[in-house]
Structure formats: structure tokens, C-alpha cells
Chains A and B, each alone.
Chain A
Amino acid sequence: MDDAKQLEAFEAKIASGAKIEPKDWMPEAYRKQLIRMMSQHAHSEIVGMLPEGNWITRAPNLRRKAILLAKVQDEAGHGLYLYSATETLGVDRTELLSQLHTGKAKYSSIFNYPTLTWADIGAIGWLVDGAAIMNQTALARGSYGPYCRAMVRICKEESFHNRQGYEIMMHLAQGTPEQKALAQDALNRWWWPSIMMLGPSDDQSPNSDQLMRWKVKMESNDAIRQRFIDRTVPQADFIGLTIPDKDMKFDEKTGHYSHGPINWDEFFEIIKGNGPCNAKRLKARVDADKKGAWVREAATAYAAKQAKEKQVA
């Protein structure tokens, strides 16, 4: 079959709702775009462990500590599902990690903000994981089988992350005035970064028809952002916290909340590497990789030795 015919069959398959599997024919642009998106996503899960890991030793009680440990462990698992899924496209994990460590690959802008207080752990679960779920449930309906299957697993697990975060915020908001102020301060700092992490607005990020047709992208950034805002604002109201946007109001006509202007300069600065924690996050990853090298080498040597002994026996 020539390329034009292959492409036609590929697009027909996607239009029919069938999934594309690793050994199926796919256009090079599809493969490249997926590798870029999926590896960014994997890197985000791994780097995302850092801001939360910062509070494991200082969680306010054993219950919170056990929960946070489980959550951070989930993020590691999510990174692994996603690296596996990306590898099905013919790229190996060593290469993907080296792209992260050399700064060639990006990860989500949100993880370049610091976690200054315990309330930030609540805000991350509630807002950051909440926003991620919006994006990921859309991606689970995409066309690439391994990515969709990873998304389904991840969304199921993220739902606990989201709820435990809200629970932290709820408890703080119902606590002493100091605790409530802590929750409000975390919301103030995380709100805008959370709505920005869903990506540039549609006029700055034209969705290529091709990516939509190929079901690599399922919905526009603004559409996902609007759904996140609509669901989150009443949650804040319920626990008596205030969204830090004086222009935020419910529009009876559209049935949606309208928000004030987003500071996209801040977003693009972070993407460029100039956020508060970019250098720190990258250094932590590179150090962990270097310091762990001897473990990987030792395990490889041990496996080789065991295999040899088995042969002799």
C-alpha cells in the first residue's frame, strides 16, 4: 500500500472510533507529536513528586503522612505507565530521560512553583490534580491505544488525589482563623498557576485540525479550562474560601463562570525556564539519576552473575 492509501485507512480507522496500536501503520507526524506529548506528561508525573515530597517528613499527623506517601508513590507509577506507553512508539526510556535532564524536554509549568506551607499540599491535590483530571479524561478518549489505557488507569487513581486535597483544604478552612488563612493563602498562590497549566488560550495556541482529526488532542485548552473553573468555584464557595479573581462571576446567560485576564507572561517565562523553581527541580532530577546510577549498574551485574550461575548449575 502506498502512503496516501495508508493515511486514508489510518484516518478512517480513527474516525470509526477504533484505537491505533503500536504495530499499526501511522504517519510520522502522529508518532512524533505523541512522543512529545506523552513524554512531557511522563516527565510531569516524575517532577511532580518533588514539590509534594517536600512535605512528607513534615505532614501534620500519621494519617496525612501515609496518604501523602501513597499519593507520591502513585505519581511515580503514573510516570512509569506513561514512559512504557511512550516506548511503544519506538523510543527508549534512556533517551526520554536524557531529554528531560538536558532540558530539551518540557514538563508541566505548575511544578516550578514552591510548596511553602502544608496547605499547599491541599491546594495541589484539589486544584492541580483537579485540573490534570480534566485534561486526562479528555485524553483518555484519544486515538492511541497505549496512551488511552494509561490515562484510564491514571484518572481512576487521581480521583483519590483530588479528594484528599480538598479534604485537607476543608479541614483547614474549618479550623482556627490562622488555619483558614493558611488555606486561603495557598488558594491565592495556586489558583492562577492551576488554570494556566491547562495551556495557552486558544487564540495563542491554534489547535491544528490535523491533531484534532487524529484525536491526539481532544478538546481546546480554553474548553477544558472553563470546565475546570465551573466545577471548582462552587467547591471553594462550599468551604468558605475565595477565588483570588475579582472579576470571577457566574454568567446566567451562558451558565459558565467568567474569569479575569490571565497573566500569560508569567506562564511563558516559566516555560522558558525562568520560574521560581525550574533550576531546583531539574537539578533534583539530574542528581537523583546520577546518584542512582550505581544501583542500576549493581543490579545489572547481579542479574548477570545469577544467570551465569544458573547456567553452570
Chain B
Amino acid sequence: MTDSQWPVWEVFVQANPGISHKHVGNVHAADAEMAIQNARDVYTRRSEGISIWVVPANAISASSPEDQGAFFEPSNDKPYRHPTFYKIPEGVKYL
């Protein structure tokens, strides 16, 4: 058997209640349970989290950096999606 050092799991940690889990790095582990334990030891030694997600690294699909420009371009020319696009006279409240 070749020593694979086990598959890679990407680690997401929720720092406090009510906020989203954030990617912090990865760990090697034989299964999900071990991945969560390793992630606790590697990424939350100083109370950095209250919840951990682990995801097999090969299950993640990502957008491609080469296409970054064209891929995100459709939102760049739509400033009217932002509230600051609209001029509201001074004195109008709660808008």
C-alpha cells in the first residue's frame, strides 16, 4: 500500500454565532470525523471557532482565474444595482 498521507479536506470555521463559516485552510485525514478533529487541533487552538465544516478538496469546483474578467464583467456595468446610483433630494428622509 502506498502511503498517501490521506486525502485533503478543506476547512471552514465559524468564529461566532450568526456569522458565516470562513475558509481557513486544509488538513489531511482518512475520513470526515478525523478531518474535523484535526481541523480543531490545527485551526482552533486559541478559541477561533465554535463550528467546523470539512469538505473533500476534490469536491470543490472553482471559477477559473483566466476567465475572471469576462466571468464577472456582467455585473460591472450595472451601477444601478447599488443604492448610491440614485440621487435623492436632501430633506427626503428614510430612503
Tell me if A307 is interfacial: C-beta within 8 Å of chain B: yes
Q: Which chain B positions have C-beta within 8 A of A77?
A: 41-42, 45
B: residues with CB less than 8 A from A are 1-6, 8, 25-28, 30-31, 34, 41-42, 45-46, 62, 64-66
- Other-chain contact of B30, A23, A73, A94, A303 (Cβ < 8 Å): A303
Tell me if A80 is interfacial: C-beta within 8 Å of chain B: yes
Q: Which chain B positions have C-beta within 8 A of A157?
A: 45-46
Q: Give the number of A-B contacts (CB < 8 Å).
A: 57
Query: Is there contact, CB below 8 Å, between B31 and A306?
Result: yes
On whether A297 and B1 interact (CB within 8 A), knowing A24-B65, A84-B26, the answer reads yes
Q: Which chain A positions have C-beta within 8 A of B5?
A: 92-94, 97, 296
Known: A23-B65, A92-B5, A299-B6. 8 other contacts (CB 8 A): A24-B65, A73-B45, A77-B41, A80-B42, A93-B28, A149-B25, A297-B1, A302-B30
CB distance from A239 to the nearest CB of B (A): 28
Q: Which residue of B is nearest A98, CB measured?
A: B3
Q: Which residue of A is nearest B25, CB measured?
A: A84
Q: Which chain A positions have C-beta within 8 A of B8?
A: 84, 87
Query: Is there contact, CB below 8 Å, between A307 and B31?
Result: yes
Interface centre among B4, B42, B46 (most CB of A within 10 A): B42
Q: Which chain B positions have C-beta within 8 A of A24?
A: 65
- Other-chain contact of B4, A21, A300, A307 (Cβ < 8 Å): A300
